[in-house]
Amino acid sequence: MTRASVNCGYLPLVDCAPLIIAKELSFAAQEGLELTLMKQPSWSALRDRLAFGHIDFAHMLSPMPVAMSLRLGGVASRIDALMVLSVNGTVVGVSADLNARMEATGWTNAFDDPQATSAALMEASGGRLRIGVPFPFSMHRMLLELWLQQAHGYDASTLDIVTVPPPQMAEAMRTGALDMFCVGEPWGSVAVGHSNASLILPGARIWQFAPEKVLGARHDWVSRNAHICYAMVRAIYKAAKWLDQPDNIPLAVDILARSQHLDLPDHAIDPALTHRLVTGLDLPPKRVGGFLEFHKGAANFPWRSQAAWIADRLAHWHGLDRDVAYETAGASFRSDVYRAALTPIGADLPGASYKTEGALHVPTAVASTKGQMILGPDQFFDGAVFDFCEGRVPK
């Protein structure tokens, strides 16, 4: 059997694990794909290469396909998200100096209290806060704004959100160029080790089920290469399912550290996969439930309502018509492709393609193609609920 050659761009982050496992454990080969992973120097470069057809698939920040489909940013192109590669996995951290000032207000770092933490942050900051995120169109920036805008004493003019490439985040914290950051692993843990930063909140405590990375491809290419897309979705689905088995984690860390794709040592990969994070130098690791999910709770399903939530934020930033934005965004999350890829292998799939974002407080059974499946909690820290099925956004 001849294999179809496909290439996939990625940025060296722990959450590209499903791609590396799909390649290294031959899930891609079993689906008839000769998969080449191509490391990219920046999200902009990855986006351009995908748009111009230099790569077939890409590991993308979940807001990127939506932003590109809405013609926002440097290169506009109709890009689809075929599946979600990972849910959650980001951390917010502050400089040692800011951490000390926050503690002086009487706050202690429980690493799970959004309200108390933002209140301490506002009280301690005393003026401008310069905050680094990896890209303007990122879940990091969306979660950060959602969280801080509701803080007691919030003042938009004192927040300076800037883009800093993740590998440079720790250094920018050390030199004082940044007071604070929101980034994906391993770069939060690296900032702790390198710059004595403190991690103050996991992104999962702002939104319990935030789609973080997606598998992107050009819309027209997807139509012309449907069977390659199905094979790729199946390969990654199987890799994600493998990564979800706790017994496989030590081996996964080993594979990720050894493969030439990440170029990270095992101690940098370990915290995200074991959900045990060291929040400050010399502190014991803290366990964070749901820190980074690859598969559990239908994590791979590209919910059209997740796309609509992202579009809601983008419409707010860029003054777009919300209804048009919801529609374009919903169409870019291809739950139809996902279903077509996985139905033949008997995967259990959600009955609906929209859900009410923020409504599940505990793991909940919902209708699925095989009866019932469990979805994980997806609450927002402030209790907000977004019901896009109705085309309305109750606050």
What type of residue is 170?
Answer: A
Kindly tell me which residue out of 12, 29, 49, 382 binds other proteins, with binding defined by CB under 8 A. Answer: 49
Output the smallest distance, CB 268 to other proteins, in A.
18
Residue among 135 and 181 whose Cβ is closer to other proteins: 135
Output the smallest distance, CB 102 to other proteins, in A.
25
Handedness of CA 319, 321, 327, 332 (dihedral sign): negative
Residue 162 interacting with other proteins (CB under 8 A): yes
Residue among 63 and 350 whose Cβ is closer to other proteins: 63
Residue 394 interacting with other proteins (CB under 8 A): no
Residue 30 interacting with other proteins (CB under 8 A): no
Taking CB under 8 A as the rule, which mask of x and - marks residues 317-346 in contact with other proteins? ----x-------------------------
Taking CB under 8 A as the rule, which mask of x and - marks residues 112-141 in contact with other proteins? ----------------------xxx-----
Output the smallest distance, CB 306 to other proteins, in A.
22
* Number of chain positions touching other proteins (CB under 8 A): 27
**Footprint (CB under 8 A) of other proteins, residues 244-263:** none
What is the distance between the alpha carbons of residues 291 and 202, in angstroms, rounded to a whole number?
7
Residue 391 interacting with other proteins (CB under 8 A): no
> For the chain, what's the residue count?
395
Kindly tell me which residue out of 36, 163, 196, 364 binds other proteins, with binding defined by CB under 8 A. Answer: 163
**Footprint (CB under 8 A) of other proteins, residues 52-91:** 52-54, 73-75, 77
Output the smallest distance, CB 129 to other proteins, in A.
16
- The encoded tokens of residue 180 equal 């604070």
Output the smallest distance, CB 47 to other proteins, in A.
9
Output the smallest distance, CB 52 to other proteins, in A.
4
Kindly tell me which residue out of 64, 139, 143, 164 binds other proteins, with binding defined by CB under 8 A. Answer: 164
Residue among 42 and 225 whose Cβ is closer to other proteins: 42
Q: Could you tell me if 347 and 331 are in contact, meaning their C-beta atoms sit under 8 angstroms apart?
A: no
Kindly tell me which residue out of 7, 44, 196, 225 binds other proteins, with binding defined by CB under 8 A. Answer: 44
- As to burial, measured by CB atoms within 10 angstroms (0-12 exposed, 13-18 middle, 19+ buried), residue 369 is middle
Place of tokens 């950051």: 181
Residue 19 interacting with other proteins (CB under 8 A): no
Positions that interact with other proteins (CB under 8 A): 41-45, 48-49, 51-54, 73-75, 77, 134-136, 162-165, 167-168, 172, 177, 321
